[in-house]
Structures are given as structure tokens and as C-alpha cells.
Amino acid sequence: MKPAILLIGANGQVGRELNRMLPLLGDVTALDRQRLDLSKPEEIRRAIRTFRPAWIVNAAAYTAVDNAESEEAVVSTINAEAPAVMAEEAKKTGASLVHYSTDYVFDGSKTSPYNEDDPTNPQNVYGRTKLEGERAIQASGVPHLIFRTAWVYATQGRNFLLTILRLATQREELRIVRDQVGAPTLNREIGKATANVLSQICTGTSSSFSFAKVSGIYHLTAAGETNWHDFAKAILEEATVTVASTPWFAAATNTLPLITRRVIPISTIEYPTLARRPAYSVLSNARLARTFSLRLPDWRTQLHSAFADGSLNRL
């Protein structure tokens, strides 16, 4: 029998992909914010008790990193308390929990990729509350997978990729931060990797996995590393090639004319934001590779694939 899966945050970048992939593995009930508001713990409890899922997959979060600085109480409710309630309820009902966290749990002082067990030291409210969410899940004793991902983008919604494409139709010059290093990760790859892991657990391949056996934190990001400036340049390169070779693209995305001629590297100090961000937050995916034989494509390949499938929305 297919497991019942409760997908929370079905309308987000990652949630949308999960909503496409998870029905291959189980009977999915997908709830967006309208159907389940994470600021109401009783709603979380009621949903879990009503649907009695074998797996809860939580893709919802308060993700507006700068706004979070002035809304700590709300952010904490969604990023820390809600996962704690999910974990508690999952434990009571015998469910397992899949949850997502962030590279921003680290302070960025390392110069080589972070491992799961490296000391955390979040620099902003978003990172702090996400870390509290992780800890609550771990402390609950529920079988869980926490996937820390980073720099997530998609072909729809609001994200760096779509912002750069929009600005490229408006400005001749873009000034983009070069001293923050990370791994931009396409939502589709997170959805695919999650489904792959769950399918391995579900079918018991390798050494008869179970959630309990593999429970823990895993880094799940694109391979390789870049910075926001080089990522922006790569986006414009992809867009230029795609516009030239694919007539439908410009019309479908409002990407004409692309007028940006220069992408100027600047430092974080020249682009002050409300939230501090780590200078280096590349995550080693070695544990994911060891445990599930899973390696995500590098960030450049992922970016190319975002342009290749024609799903970019109007900007």
C-alpha cells in the first residue's frame, strides 16, 4: 500500500516540485498556507490527526531573510515552533518527518565546505529560527530527515534568477555582490533528490533502510560553488543564448530587449541589507552521497536546465 504523505507548504518553490514528485511515491495531501496556517499550532495538530500520514513533508517556512529581522516573533512561530509541533505530533501518531533547513545556520567563517556536524552560528533571525526548528525536531526523537539547502531558485515566483532577468530588461549596468560564496540550487533538483531518498527508504533498497536508521541532517545543494556576481553573469549568458536560439523564450518571459551590458562586482559593504549573511556557506554533500549514493548536478548545469525546459514564467 502506498504511504499517506502530508505535504505542507505546497505552494512554495520547493513545495511545488514536491507536489509534482511525491505522488509517484504515495497518496499526497498537499496543503498550502490557505489550508494550513503554520502560525496556528492547533491547525497543525488537527491536520496531522485528521490525515494520519506516514510521512509529513514540511516545505513551508518564513523565508524573507531581511524582513525576518523585524518580525522575530512571527518568524520564530513558523520556523521554530511549527516544526516542533509537527515533530511532537508525528511522534505521537507514528509518522516520520521530512524538513528543510538552510546554509544560514552557519556564520561563514570557514573556507571549505561545511559538514553537517560543523558548529553552527547563525548571523540573522532567519538562520537562528531555522536552527531552533532543526533542534526541536532532533530533540523530539521522531524519525526525520532534515535537508539543509541553499540559494534556492525556481522558474516561477520570486527569486534571484527572475530578479536578474527582470533587471536585465531595465538597466544597462548591474552591481552585484561578489564576496558571498554559495551554491545556487534549483527547486526541481531538491524535489527530485527528496523523492529519490524517500523512494530508497520506501522500497528498502541497499541495506533495508528505514527512516529511523538514516534519521538526521543532510546537506542537499548543487555541487560546486559560485558567488552572486558570477551567478548573475551566468544567468545573463544563459538568457542571451536562449533568447538568440529560442524565439518563443523572449516572448514568453518578457526578456527582450536584454539591455544589461555590464555586471559590476561589489562587496557586501557596498550593498547593506537588514540581515547579515555568511560570506561562505558552501555545504558538503558527502553524507548524502555516502548514505544514498546521491549527487546533485553542479550549479551551472542546474542553471542551464532551468532555461532548457521552457517553464520560465513571465517576469
**Residues assigned a catalytic role:** 126
63 part of the interface to ligand NAP, by CB under 6 A: yes
Which of 27, 29, 33, 266 binds ligand NAP (CB under 6 A)? It is 33
Q: Pick the binder of ligand NAP from 47, 57, 59, 217 (CB under 6 A).
A: 59
End-to-end CA distance of the chain: 42
CB 11 → ligand NAP: shortest distance, Å?
Answer: 4
Between 36 and 90, CB nearer to ligand NAP: 36
CA–CA separation, 269 and 31 (whole Å): 40
Residue 62 found at the interface with ligand NAP (CB under 6 A): yes
- Closest separation between CB of residue 247 and ligand NAP, Å? 30
CA distance 293 to 64: 33
Decide whether 162 or 214 has the Cβ nearer to ligand NAP.
162
Q: Which stretch binds ligand NAP (CB under 6 A): 57-65, 89-97, 206-214, 275-283?
A: 57-65
DSSP state of 9: S
Q: Which is nearer to ligand NAP, 250 or 297 (CB)?
A: 297
| Residue 151 binding ligand NAP, by CB under 6 A | yes
Phi-psi region of 208 (alpha: psi -120 to 50; beta: other; left: phi over 0): left
Q: Which three cell numbers stand for residue 73?
A: 516573533
39 binds ligand NAP (CB under 6 A): yes
Contact 134, 89 (CB under 8 A): no
Q: Does 11 engage in binding with ligand NAP (CB under 6 A)? A: yes
Phi, psi of 269 (to 5 degrees): -60, -30
The number of beta carbons lying within 10 Å of the beta carbon of residue 310 is: 12
Give yes or no for residue 277 binding ligand NAP (CB under 6 A).
Answer: no
CB distance 52 to 13 below 8 Å: no
The CA distances from residue 90 to 6, 52, 116, 121, in Å, are 11, 9, 23, 28
Which residue in the set 6, 14, 85, 195 belongs to the binding site for ligand NAP (CB under 6 A)?
14
100 binds ligand NAP (CB under 6 A): yes
Please state, in angstroms and as integers, the Cα–Cα distance from residue 8 to each residue in 47, 78, 245, 253, following that order. Answer: 10, 12, 39, 29
Nearest to 85 by CA among 37, 38, 29: 38
C-beta of 104 vs 249, nearer to ligand NAP: 104
For the CB of residue 312, give the shortest distance to ligand NAP in the complex, in Å.
16
109, 88, 3, 92: which is closest to 41 by C-alpha?
88
Among residues 7, 13, 120, 132, which is the contact residue for ligand NAP, using CB under 6 A? 13
Nearest to 142 by CA among 59, 207, 85: 85
The nearer residue to ligand NAP, 206 or 311, going by C-beta atoms, is: 311
- CB 187, min distance to ligand NAP, A: 6
Smaller CB separation from ligand NAP, 62 or 209: 62
Contact track, ligand NAP, 64-93, x by CB under 6 A:
--------------x---------------
Binding site for ligand NAP (CB under 6 A): 9, 11-15, 33, 36-39, 59-63, 78, 100, 102-103, 130, 149-152, 157
